[in-house]
Amino acid sequence: MAQEIIRKKTVDTIKKQLDTELVERKKTMVEEGDRGVYDIKDEIRYRKQTEKGLNEAIVREISANKDEPEWMLEMRLRALELFNRLENPSWGPDLSLVDIDKITTYISPDSDLEGDWAKVPEDIRNTFDRLGIQDAERAESLSGVGAQYDSEVVYHSLTKMMQKKGVIYTDFETAVREYPEIVKKYFGKCITAADHRYAALHYAVWSGGSFVYVPKGVEVDIPLQSYFRLNAPGAGQFEHTLIILEEDSYCHFIEGCSAPKYNVLNIHAGAVELFVADRSRLRYSTIENWSRNMYNLNTKRAIVGEDGAIEWVSGSFGSRVSMLYPMSILNGARARAEFTGITFAGQDQFLDTGVKVIHAAPETSSNVNTKSISKGGGTAVYRSEIRVLPGAKGSKSTAICESLMLDDESRSDTLPIIDLQCDDVDFGHEAKIGRISDEVVFYLMSRGIPEAEARAMVVRGFAEPIAKELPLEYAVEMNALIGLELEGTIG
């Protein structure tokens, strides 16, 4: 009798465990369809890989693998302590499924860093070729190219013309070794580990990324491009991008991101620190095209000097959850910030994106123009904070947020915070939320255009102001992603 009771308890325990695993698996199931070249997976081949989870031993292992100076290890360990103390944000999307114990924080591909594209392993090279990422020798429209695969940069190159001008463009590990004084001066000064839990996670386990230094008076008129590809399932990508523009300089930096779909959790918690000195201008263009098993918890921030400018152009696609709010701190008189962005949320997606601007000096200005599209029950939230400090007299800010819902299941919200601590301010905020007009669709159909194409034309027209701000190849990619969403092949 006792044995029967024990056997029954064992069976019940196993059943309960299987039921729990089934529930967890359903939570991470990816419902999207074929995303073409973005979903092609490579065989998982790595040189080094940490165990899943996060502890001091893993942080020390990552630092040892990179042969880092002691100050960097100490910074990582302080960040680890903060990560263990900080909680998930109490607002925004639910992050309860983000379990770091199930994440591999460091995977080194079986490749060295190369400056010759032909020396990159063929399978990795083929992946970037499919994605349209060319080496610097073939990419006539680029001054430099960087390519990261999982946790490490596998290729980096800069044209000789830019090298002669004193421009530095390299992977971040090389920058730590070869330009330690510059890195120590700026690293962690714009974004700190104490900012939030996933900033702390980033500084504990960061790996890869890009370093850009533009000397005084130099213009990088042909863009630099870095592309980040996460191939491994159940992994995280934590690249660090640091861009420094000295006075009277210009640079356009292009960033692309993607990952294939898996039915397991992946995390992206990168950091982008931008320093724009007096009278300089930086344009930062991004298309983030993650799969829907990704939690995209990225942090981006810029500090702008007198008469300087930061221009953000951002497209957010894919990912199960995104929390992304690029921030501009206008520290110098007459500094300005422009943000142009679009998000597309489909089934089972919660894209919580927006912008932050701090006007900290007189006569600064900001212009925000965002658009969001939601379908299939997706949620697109625009969340912003525009703050004008007491000394920022004569500042101007305009924010326009437009949302387009393609069905009755979807949701769109606008949640602005406006904090004006100065009376001498010119401020305007406008928000529009609506659906595709049946009259417009009928008009197009009466001209012989099928209904599906008519609706697609309206959506493409809605997104066109964003697309024209992107480099050509990224505008093409954005339109292709919108086409996939509208065809129902995703979601």
Structure confidence by residue, pLDDT tens digits, 146-179:
999 899 999 988 988 899 999 999 999 999 999 9
**pLDDT per residue as tens digits for the range 407-466:** 888 888 889 999 999 999 999 988 888 888 788 888 888 988 888 888 888 887 887 877
pLDDT at 67: 94
* Mean pLDDT of all residues in 307-320: 91
Residue 234: count of CB within 10 angstroms of its CB: 16
- Residue 396 reports pLDDT greater than 60: yes
Element housing 267 (H / E): strand 266-268
pLDDT per residue over 214-240, tens digit each? 999 999 989 999 999 998 889 999 999
Per-residue pLDDT tens for 340-382?
A: 998 888 888 999 999 999 999 999 999 999 989 888 889 999 9
Q: How far apart are CA 82 and CA 356, in angstroms?
A: 24
Query: Is residue 7 scored above 80 in pLDDT?
Result: no
Give me the pLDDT at residue 137, please. 59
- Quick: pLDDT tens for 247-305: 999 999 999 888 888 878 999 999 999 999 999 999 999 988 888 889 999 999 999 99
- The pLDDT > 90 percentage for the chain reads 55
Looking at residue 35, its pLDDT comes to 62
